[in-house]
Structures are given as structure tokens and as C-alpha cells.
Amino acid sequence: MKGDKIYEDLSLIRRRSKRAFTAVTVIFILMLVYFWKIQIVDYKKYWEKSEENRIRRISLSPQRGLILDRDGNILAKNIASFKVSLVREKCEDLKASYTKISKLLRIDRKEIEERIQKYQSFQQFRPIVIKDNLTQTEVALIEGRKAEFPELILQTEPKRFYPYHTLAAHVLGYLQEISPRQLKSEAYQQYEIGDLIGKMGIEREYEDRLSGQKGLALEVVDSEGRVITEYNQKESTNGENIKLTLDLDIQKEVESILEKKEGVVVVMNAKSGEILAMASYPNFDPNRFINRFTPEQWMELVQDPDFPLENRAIRGLYSPGSLFKPLIAIGALDSNLISDQSSYFCSGRTLIYGHPFSCWFGPGHGRVNLYTGIKNSCNIYFYNVGKNLGIQKIADYARIFGFGSPTEIDLPGEKSGLVPDPEWKKRTRGEPWYLGETIPVSIGQGPLLATPLQVAVYTSIIANRGEKIIPHFFLTGSDSGDNSGKGKRTYVRPLSKEIDRSDFEKVIRGMWMAVNEQGTARAAMVKDFDVCGKTGTTQVVSTDTERKMEERGTKVGTHSWFSGFAPRRDPEVIVTIIIEYGGMGGSTAAPLAKNLFTLYKDKYVR
């Protein structure tokens, strides 16, 4: 009809409008919540970020503690140095920065890329050291072009320096750049990319004492990274100075003795376990590690066929040879299997379990008892004593005297050696122990292996008539005054089995005769010092193999051993020497020991 009104259905529009209004309201509310969170809840986080745009945090490296010998001579100190680091966050074009920095500092571009790639997984704001030990010219270049290179940070860095170079290198150790894996560990949270930490020797063992605590400086910078002002927030704390038991004079003599000879020398205080000297050759100069290595340089060093980084004193494994004979004697005396007058006849050769065994002295020693057996190092005598003692008891006494276990010296990486017994052979080779295998072990050969330091400790147990000492280098620390290493330690301990003192006295008499009555160790004799000792000559191949090689014209060398103490009644010093492929112990190692006993006597005996 003409007058009727027509109403349009707007319900759909209203519903859509309502939904749109609701959506806008929700978005508005979310925006309000978000802005509230930023300004009220997270204000500190964003405030710190904004501050970081104008405040630069600079770590202040502490001076590493000095390492000194027992008389205060400095063995490791610090020298001033500069390093430059790159901050990826400040780079607009990282690859372009590589090229510019390479030209500025004359560094191979690939080397810079490898350095950055090594720490790629770390935050962009963390500085990565790209060059250290900068020259004055390089420092001036970087300082003069700060505005052009805002991504570079120049810092001072105390550098380690070893004034005596190779002297006591294996004892002192060296520093090396901390690895990415270590940086991610909880134990290394205080360190930063590029820091150098102890990786070997005393530097590693006492890293927590020597390293000190970093400080923090804050610099206010402008938008281009130029420093406006600076102020310190926290001073660094220098590391603790450490005094070692080493005697510089004796250490120098030891190094001189070993020069160009592969081997080890250990000189130790017989009562306290203080190491007066320790040297392993070939050696290295720890100053070589002052500058950061490329991977290629590092591989070249570790793959050196002479293994100069290996501390043979605690990691070299050798058959102790005839040095083991006094232990066999003590074990047999303690087990009541022999007396000091029990004797065997040595004709130079004997048949045991149907197999021929020889004495080192072809014509033979004739009738031999305990004293002449040790004095002349008669193999036939100890073959028979060892046969009666048996492998299990030999192994038990070897462990009592410290073989097969670390000495607990305060150096990392010490090896335990090997004491063979039937259980070991069954476990490792799946075979039973044969009786004939006991015979070579009786004279310190076969699968028996020990470190030179273990031999020195074993010698000290004999010298002290049954007391075991723990060898150590730590003497005192400048801060705490603690003279006992890492916490309180007892350096003198009883053996796990009590052995009658008279058994030690009998063996010591034989060792005294070996030096002072024309025995195998007579070249170690020192007038008025009553040296007691034992020589050893150990084969590196079997007798049959040696004979075959000599028939082909190849001469096979033997390792030369000496280990002993002085004086006899109240021992003060232990000297242990091994010269690899040095020949007979009496002609090579014993004369060298005489030099060291003489030096000790002249310096310490009044």
C-alpha cells in the first residue's frame, strides 16, 4: 500500500558491527596491557638495553699471580700487552668489516673469519679477540681510527712470561685460550671469550688461585662509539702468588744433565715429599703459548714425533727393571720365604719351568745371598725369589709400595701405571696367567709399568723404612699463608701393611753396598754422604727379538735407570733418573745421580 513504510533488516549489520567493535576493544585492551607490561613490568629490562646503547661495559683483566721457586726466584711473571677485539653487534656489514680490519692490522682475512666462526654461537655483543700482543704502531692505528672502526675494542692484557724459558716447563705448564665448550660450562662463568687459562702443569692445577677476579669499567659513549667519560664500577683482584718447592740451582743442573737426552730426572726431599727438581726431555718453551695459536700451529706442536708436551715424569710408563728387585726382597722377607742369608747359585743361566733365563752377567755371580744379590743385581737370585713369592703376592706388595696408583702429586694428568696379576690378564686378554710369566716380573720386566715419579716415591718408602710420602710442589701462597696445597693435606702416611723395620734395613744394606762396595751403582758414590741406590737396565723388546734385530745389524738400546737416596741413616734426598736408550744403568744414569747428590750435599748439608 501507498502509505505503508518499508523496514530494512539491519540485524546482520548490527551483528557484524558488534563483532568489529568487540575485536577493536580487545585489540585496544591488549595494546594497553602490552604497553603497561613494557613500562611497568619490564621497564628495567628495556632501561638496561637503552643504557647499553650509550654505556659500554669493559672487563678489567687482573694480574695473574706470580710463580716462584722456594728461594723467591720468579719462574712465571706478567708483562704489559694490548689486544683488540671485534663486537659483531657494532658491524653494519660483517664481511666488509673483515676486509677493512684485515688491511688495517695486516691479518689474513681468513684468520679473522675463523676466529669469529669459532664463537659464532655466542651473543653478538660479546667481544671476540682477533689479535693480541699488538705493537705500538698497531695500537696507535686503532686509537686514531676509532670513529671508522666502532666495532673494534682495544684493551690492555697482562701477558704471561717465563724468564727461564724451557726451565721446568713441564712443571709450570702453560696458558691457552679458553675453549667455547669451557665457556658454556658453569665452572667457567667468570671467564670471557679470548681469556687465557692454565691448561697444563701448575698453571692449570692452581688456576683458581693464580687467576684472580675480573674488574668492570663502564664507559659512556656517543652514537658513534666515542668515549665521552668513564668510571670504574669494580676493581679487579690480582691472583695469588704461589711459591713452589723447586730449587732453581738443582733444577738448572737437572736440565743440564738431560739436555739432548730423552728421559726424566726427579729430585725429592726424602722426608717431606717436596719436589726440588723435576725435568722431562724433550721439553718446550711455554712462552710459545703467549700468543694465541691458529689450529694449524697447535696441530703441528701436538703431532711432533718427539712429544715435547708430554711430561714423562708423571705420564711416561716404563718397566722399572732391576729397581724392582728391592721390593721383591722385602716381600719375600716379610712373607718369611727367605732370610738375608738364603742363597742361590748363579752360573749365568738357569732353567725355570722348562724355559731358559739368563743373568745380565754372562759368567755368573756364583753363590749369591740377599746382600750380594742387590749389590750385583743378580737376575738368577731374584728369578728364584720371585718364583717362590708368586705373582699374586708380587702384585700385592707392588700396590703396597704405590705401583699401579697415582702418587697424588699436585699436577694434572698423572698416569697410574700397571701392576699385572692373574685377574688383570683374564680381564684384558681372556687368558690365564702362566707360571713362567712371573719370572720376568720378578726383575721388573714383563707387563709391569711405572712412572719415574712412582719409582721415586717407592724409593722414599724404602729410605723412610716404611713411611709413604706424597710428592708435591706447593709450598706457600701469598694470600692465605696455606702451605698445604688445596686444603689441609697429610704428606706422610703409613703403608697399608705394616712391614718390619729390620726388613728395610737389610735391603738398604744391599743398596748401600751397590754404591759403596763396588756394586752396579758404584758410579753414584759421593764421599761422606753414604748414598744408597739401585741401578736398572730395562729391555724395550724381548730377548729373542733383540737377538734377531742385532743379527740384521740393528742395535737395540736399553733404558738406563738409577734410583737412590742419601744419607743412609737419616735420608734427606731422593734422586731418580731414567735415560731412554741410555744403555747400562751403572754407566749412564748412576754418574748423573752422583752430580745431583754432590750438588745437594754442597748446598744443604752443613
- What does the alpha-carbon distance between residue 544 and residue 554 come to, in Å, rounded to a whole number? 13
Q: What's the number of CA atoms in the CB half-sphere (13 Å) around residue 149?
A: 22
All 3 cell numbers of residue 315? 705420564
For residue 478, count other CB atoms closer than 10 A to its CB.
15
Specify whether the CB–CB gap between 216 and 62 falls below 8 A.
no
- What does the alpha-carbon distance between residue 13 and residue 455 come to, in Å, rounded to a whole number? 99
Residue 285's contacts (CB-CB under 8 Å, 6 or more residues apart) are: 162, 165, 166, 169
- What does the alpha-carbon distance between residue 268 and residue 460 come to, in Å, rounded to a whole number? 9
Specify whether the CB–CB gap between 441 and 322 falls below 8 A.
no
- As a residue count, the chain comes to 606
DSSP, collapsed to helix, strand or coil, labels residue 246 as: coil
Computed from CA positions of residues 145, 149, 155, 160, in that sequence, does the dihedral angle turn out positive or negative? negative
Does the bond joining 282 to the residue before it have cis omega, within 30 degrees of 0?
Answer: yes
DSSP, collapsed to helix, strand or coil, labels residue 597 as: helix
> What is the DSSP code string of 16-78?
HHHHHHHHHHHHHHHHHHHHHIIIIISHHHHHHHHHHTTEEEEEEPPPPPPEE-TT--EEEEE
State which H helix or E strand residue 275 sits in.
strand 275-281
Which residue of the set 85, 236, 280, 322 is catalytic? 322
Look at residues 462, 381, 376, 392 and name the one whose alpha carbon lies nearest to residue 426.
392
All 3 cell numbers of residue 551? 743379527
Has 322 been annotated as catalytic?
A: yes
State which H helix or E strand residue 187 sits in.
none
For residue 598, count other CB atoms closer than 10 A to its CB.
16
Specify whether the CB–CB gap between 83 and 134 falls below 8 A.
yes
The torsion angles phi and psi of 196, rounded to 5 degrees, stand at -100, 130
Look at residues 464, 550, 469, 523 and name the one whose alpha carbon lies nearest to residue 499.
464
Dihedral (C-alpha) 203, 206, 208, 209: value to the nearest 10 degrees? Answer: -100
- Cross-sheet strand order for the sheet of 227-234: 55-60, 215-221, 227-234
Helix 248-258 with 589-604: angle, nearest 10 deg? 160
User: What single DSSP character describes residue 6?
Assistant: P
Dihedral (C-alpha) 7, 11, 17, 23: value to the nearest 10 degrees? Answer: 180
Instruction: Give the residue numbers marked as catalytic.
Output: 322
